[in-house]
Amino acid sequence: MTIQDLKDNNLILFEAIAGSKSFGLETPESDTDIKGVFYMPKALFYGMEYIPQISNETNDVAYYEIGRYIELLTKNNPNILELLASPADCILYKHPVMERVLISDFLSKLCKDTFAGYAATQIKKARGLKKKIVNPLPKERKSPLDFCYILKGYNTITLKKWLAENNLAQENCGLVNIPHSKDVYALFTDNNGSLCYKGIIKSEDSNEVSLSSVPNGETESAYMYFNKDGYSNYCKEYREYWDWVEKRNNNRYNTNMEHGKQYDSKNMMHTVRLLQSALQILSEGSLNIRVSNRNELLAIKAGQLQYDELLERAEKLLETIEQVTKTTKLQEKPDVKHAEKLLVEIRMELYT
């Protein structure tokens, strides 16, 4: 099924403008996000083709099947609670059955973990971007040779330096395992190439060092250590970095570069917003997603605050949330049985 199928068959139960426009944080560059709820045709629902969510390619437009929607509400998922709390001027359509889905039935102490936990994820993302901005990785990928070291007494030197000092090519070297010595090898050399050693690596694309057959009587030239764990970590960071470069939102990246604070300012804005929402839920027992401090949050998005200052603010909000959680009158968690009864009633009305 597609989004167009939902519309053509009148399967949409709820539809609203979401994201920055619903929060009151839109700018001229903001996209219009649409979120909603749908129900499946009776034949498909009772068959084997259950579909929990239908989205477009960018996820700017997404609809949740009513069962999945109710399930996520019982888990106090921030995005789903925010959808249920959509301001009236953002609601595009609301089926009468959706009047029964009340946010007061679902708000609970779980919001401390879901909203604040999600905010912590945003902080991690912001830190991750800061690391990528501060430490860009060259396009040319390192090889295992860059993580190999020659043991010299109580010290080491890089393999590449040792090869250069001894006028040797890695292709004319052979490695032999040393028992009970992880990633340490005896290194043999053959300047004439007559012994057909396999080299330290087979090619620049290799991810492992190579082992060679060494004739009896040959004397090792050195002992070599391959920092395999270091190379694996580098490969992971290299892959993540260039994957991020390929997929990043260049407008957002350029904004982060222009403000010069070296963090993802949009993530940090949403971090503060989510923490404020968590505090509102736990202290007031309600959720109004239209922010009252638009200018302050947009200043964060524009990178006008220092990263450490933002972290300090987030930590203070977290401390306050912890204190308020101890006195809140909210239920410990949503009543799943009540939610299930509600879902059954809605389905019965839709399918009758």
Report in angstroms the alpha-carbon separations of 294 from 21, 120, 251.
11, 21, 21
- Smallest CA-to-CA distance from 24 within 73, 82, 94 is with 82
- Low-confidence stretches of the chain (pLDDT < 70) are 122, 124-135, 247-263
- In this prediction, residue 249 carries a pLDDT of 57
- In this prediction, residue 244 carries a pLDDT of 72
Q: Could you tell me which residues come within 8 angstroms of residue 81 by beta carbon, excluding any fewer than 6 positions away?
A: 73, 103, 106, 107, 111, 287
- Smallest CA-to-CA distance from 101 within 345, 329, 333, 352 is with 345
Q: Could you tell me which residues come within 8 angstroms of residue 278 by beta carbon, excluding any fewer than 6 positions away?
A: 111, 112, 115, 116, 119, 317, 321
CB 63 within 8 A of CB 9: no
Domain 1-106+334-352 grouped into CATH 3.30.460:
yes
Query: Which residue is it, tokens 């990633």?
Result: 183
Q: Could you tell me which residues come within 8 angstroms of residue 250 by beta carbon, excluding any fewer than 6 positions away?
A: none
- In this prediction, residue 248 carries a pLDDT of 62
- In this prediction, residue 40 carries a pLDDT of 96
pLDDT tens profile 289-338: 999 999 999 999 888 888 888 888 888 999 999 999 999 999 999 999 99
Where does residue 88 rank: exposed (0-12), middle (13-18), buried (19+ CB within 10 A)? exposed
DSSP string, 181-243: -TTEEEEEE-TT-TT----SSSSTT-SS-------TT----EEEEE-HHHHHHHHHHHHHHHH
- In this prediction, residue 257 carries a pLDDT of 46
Ranges of each domain in the chain = 1-106+334-352, 144-232
- In this prediction, residue 129 carries a pLDDT of 55
3-state secondary structure of 53: strand
- In this prediction, residue 121 carries a pLDDT of 72
